[in-house]
Amino acid sequence: MNPPIRFSGPVKAALDQGRPVVALESTIVTHGMPWPQNFETAQAVETDVADAGATPATIAVFDGHIHIGLTGEQLEMLAKAEKVMKLSRADMAYALSEGKTGSTTVAATMMAASLAGIEVFATGGIGGVHQGAETTFDISADLAELSLTGVITVCAGAKAILDIPKTLEVLETGGVPVIGYGTNVFPAFWSRESTQKAPLRLDTANAVANLWKMRQRLGQQGGMLIGNPVPKTAEIPREEMAGYIRTAIDEASASGISGKNVTPWLLARIVELTEGRSLATNIALIRHNARVASEIAVALTN
């Protein structure tokens, strides 16, 4: 294989020397949060990773090349961009062969991280099975990617805009270990708890590293999902989110929002409905995930 990858200097040095690296996605920057919080958060997350002893590798596609580790200018360009592609497995190679620029979703970031030899990845929330998927068939490619690609993905669970029980079923079918990190309950992004149990539970970064190494001893190839609940001080309780989510989903279907636009549209609408509170929660949880992912990356090098 000969993928068109450009590494930043710090990421290249860390990988060459076997030091811990944490991959970070960029769709949260282009489609997940408004300016300027998207830019400030992307920078804060990189600092969080560095403070925890790992090298941050934010991933995006520029002019037909996968960039692993971005400059401040590249990050700012993405944060201000209005028309970059939101790339997933289905269109990653198209963006590269056509020389395009795009941000990477969980699925595309996992693909790129795996090609680059990065084993740990922090995001906010994964895509999943949408409510009403039995009629829309809207199931994020993130789930298939988790079953295919060998990257540990740290998230704050699945947003309650998704059908969480069906999302967990699809992950189980795909052979993806879903770990509650310090919790018995699968987290629901803005809220610490969903109505679902976490299928498995681990309490330390070392335990996650040991599980990962055991999967490698068994020759298992896919990813693992770590569900790390949002810190208590930043959470919005489930009962309170339920109303906002219902409103946003009803409006989206009435307006005919479909395909790739569904998740960004719902996230933006929920920021409005919560008068910005959901954004503050989103920022807190991604920073928390970055710290836990860094601890896991460090544990893997021990």
Active site (catalytic) residues: 25, 159
Would you count residue 138 as binding Mn ion (CB under 5 A)? yes
Closest separation in Å from C-beta 52 to ligand PSU: 21
List the interface residues with ligand PSU, window 108-147 (CB under 6 A). Answer: 124-125, 127, 140-142
The two three-digit tokens of residue 298, written as one number: 């460090």
Instruction: Give the nearer residue to Mn ion in terms of CB position, either 74 or 261.
Output: 261
Measured from the CB atom, the residue of 86 and 215 that comes closer to ligand PSU is 86
Site string for ligand PSU, 258-287 (x = CB under 6 A): --x--x---x--------------x-----
- Report DSSP letters for the chain, one per residue: ----EEE-HHHHHHHHTT--EEEE-SHIIIIIS-TTHHHHHHHHHHHHHHHTTSEEEEEEEETTEEEES--HHHHHHHHH-SS-EEE-TTTHHHHHHTT--EEE-HHHHHHHHHHHT--EEE-S-B--BBTTHHHH--B-HHHHHHHHS--EEEESBB-TTB-HHHHHHHHHHTT--EEEES-SB--BTTBS--SSB-SEEE-SHHHHHHHHHHHHHTT--S-EEEE-PPPGGG---HHHHHHHHHHHHHHHHHTT--GGGHHHHHHHHHHHHTTTHHHHHHHHHHHHHHHHHHHHHHHHH-
Looking at 21-29, 53-61, 93-101, 293-301, which segment touches ligand PSU (CB under 6 A)?
Answer: 21-29
Which token pair is 289? 């995930």
For Mn ion, the binding residues in 178-197 under the rule CB under 5 A are: none
Site size with Mn ion, rule: CB under 5 A:
1
User: With CB under 5 A as the contact rule, which of the stretches 2-10, 17-25, 77-85, 137-145 interacts with Mn ion?
Assistant: 137-145
Ranges within 203-242 binding ligand PSU (CB under 6 A): none
Scan residues 140-169 and list those touching ligand PSU (CB under 6 A). 140-142
Q: Does 85 bind ligand PSU (CB under 6 A)?
A: no
Q: Which residues in 92-111 contact Mn ion (CB under 5 A)?
A: none
Query: Pick from Mn ion, ligand PSU, none: which does 194 bind, CB < 5 to 8 A by kind?
Result: none
| Residues that bind Mn ion in the complex, under the rule CB under 5 A | 138
Binding interface with ligand PSU (CB under 6 A)? 25, 27-28, 31-32, 105-106, 124-125, 127, 140-142, 260, 263, 267, 282
